[in-house]
Amino acid sequence: MCPPPGPARRPAPTNSTTMVRSDLFRLDSKTAAIIGAGSGIGEAVALGCAMHGAHTSCLDINADAAAAVAKRIQADGGSSDSAAVDIRNAGAVAEAFASIVRAHGRLDIVVCTPSINVRKPLLAYTEDDFDRVVALNLKGSFNVLREAGRVMTAQRRGSIVIFSSIRARVVEAGQSVYAATKAGIVQMVRAAAAEFGPSGVRVNAVGPGVVETPLTAPITANREWYDAYAAKSVFKRWATADEMVGPTLFLASDAASYVTGTLLLADGGWTATDGRFTPPGMTP
């Protein structure tokens, strides 16, 4: 008696058997929309995507900053354009993506980096503080996930990368609402990965540790605070924005063709060790 047939095997992407190893991280012929491209991590990621061959649309609430990054890419021989977008406005996000598709015929990669933090104890938090943080970090990320998902599931391909944080895993005093939004992003990413995956769309999150950016400027200006955070990493230092490019490009590229629904921590070992004490005899 023959055993019942197993589930039908879905073929792997056609490029999985022909991909040249050195091309795993290349983004040639792809179109990438980088939100938050005007500064910090978003700027570094936009430059990195362009360096790896993608047409890069630099999107930011600050139109001049986005345009300046696009001009840098063009000056280096890359293909880029820019536009202003406020991710708190779902219609603006949808139009930004539609404009890219009209101009280039496709939208392969979307990376979303913007967030804000109001550092206060819970008892000092106002409703306005709460609304500001949730509106950008959580609702904004939702708008990007939903609108990118609509485009990419229709074209049956694409990669979405949303920036979360180590605060999705660990918290400290004054980080309540920010941490809640970053944990919420991870759960939305997981749900989107489950829903978009059958259409060939991958969705992942990056979780940075402490990175020197405009968002963290109030901390880096305080030497005691800066040094305390540096000590939490096993490298005893902060990350640069450029160090977030590699993890992001991995998730965006075909190198991660079987990776979806993940939180990729780029935290210098912060969440792997408490970083507070090395027992006697344990120093290398």
CA distances (Å), 96 to each of 79, 150, 172, 209, in order?
A: 17, 13, 36, 29
Is 19 inside a domain boundary?
A: no
Is 38 inside a domain boundary?
A: yes
Q: Provide the pLDDT for residue 46.
A: 98
Instruction: Give the residue numbers marked as catalytic.
Output: 178
Q: Provide the pLDDT for residue 12.
A: 58
Is 1 inside a domain boundary?
A: no
Looking at the structure of the chain, the number of domains it has is 1
User: What span, in angstroms and rounded, lies between the C-alpha atoms of 275 and 227?
Assistant: 13
Is 280 inside a domain boundary?
A: no
Is 12 inside a domain boundary?
A: no
pLDDT tens per residue, range 175-207:
999 999 999 999 999 999 999 999 999 999 999
Q: How far is CA 59 from the centre of its chain?
A: 14
What does 47-94 look like in DSSP terms, one character per residue? HHHHHTT-EEEEEESSHHHHHHHHHHHHHTT--EEEEE--TT-HHHHH
Identify how many contiguous H helices and E strands the chain contains and give both numbers. 9, 7
Residues of the chain falling short of pLDDT 50: 6, 14, 16-18
**In the structure encoding, which two tokens stand for residue 133, read together?**
């943080």
Is 284 inside a domain boundary?
A: no
Q: Provide the pLDDT for residue 13.
A: 56
- Phi, then psi, of 238 in degrees rounded to 5: -80, 160
The residue length of the chain stands at 284
User: What span, in angstroms and rounded, lies between the C-alpha atoms of 16 and 44?
Assistant: 28
H or E element in which residue 246 lies: helix 245-252
Is 278 inside a domain boundary?
A: no
Q: Provide the pLDDT for residue 284.
A: 60
| Strand order through the sheet with 80-84 | 80-84, 55-60, 31-35, 109-112, 158-163, 201-208, 263-266
pLDDT tens per residue, range 109-148:
999 999 999 999 999 999 999 999 999 999 999 999 999 9
The CATH number assigned to the domain holding 128 equals: 3.40.50.720
Domain extent, residue 184, equals 26-269
The 3-state DSSP class for residue 144 equals: helix
Is 5 inside a domain boundary?
A: no
Q: Provide the pLDDT for residue 18.
A: 47
Q: Provide the pLDDT for residue 261.
A: 98
pTM higher than the cut 0.85:
yes
Q: Provide the pLDDT for residue 273.
A: 87
